[in-house]
A and B are shown apart, each in its own frame.
Chain A
């Protein structure tokens, strides 16, 4: 059983399309991060969300933290080929340790 379930696992879309990827759990998280990872490199932080219901925008990316702090979503508007990559959600569990628990990631491919 995965503590953080990401879906879809793979997503291939055309340039200009919108997309949403999801990160779900049955556990409550005190904070949740979204990272992007390129092959052979480390995860690069995109955003941190800590408050239930929080919405953060980063240019064409919109991140939402669920009201119950058990889930999150990443929405990309008008995707571009440069958005291609592996998107990881990771969080620290409420009342737990500070270690990050990672999802398996969503591999996004944006075709020109």
Chain B
């Protein structure tokens, strides 16, 4: 069964450094998302992306964050000047073009900021 894949599975970075989290959505999906889950807390929406542009972003998704679809398969989340509080699991999700279709999640990248 097609699945969303994310790399790396674990990223350790010094505070202030930039990180890029990578995702390969399911191939025929057109809507892409990033969510994060701080340890012990619920999954939170960050951003949605469709037709090569951001369609919605949360208040968490400030100027520190950016997303890009650099080619036909990858979808990336860049975090500039990382802070300790950016430590979390980051999940990529994608869904089909039809309304009410569910979002399918990758296994996430565990980001640890030291």
**Taking beta carbons and an 8 Å cutoff, which residues of A are in contact with B?**
30-31, 33, 35, 40-45, 48, 50, 88, 90, 92, 97-105
Tier of interface size on chain B? 20 to 34
Give the nearest-CB partner of B40 in chain A.
A104
| B108 in the interface (beta carbon within 8 A) | yes
Beta-carbon nearest neighbor of B41 in chain A: A104
**Beyond A43-B105, A99-B56, A102-B42: 15 further Cβ-contacts under 8 Å?**
A31-B100, A42-B91, A42-B108, A43-B43, A43-B91, A45-B105, A48-B100, A50-B100, A90-B43, A98-B48, A99-B45, A100-B43, A100-B103, A102-B43, A105-B42
Query: Which B residues lie at the A interface, using CB under 8 A?
Result: 4, 6, 31, 33, 35, 41-45, 48, 55-56, 58, 91, 93, 100-108, 110
CB pair A35–B42 under 8 Å, yes or no, is: no
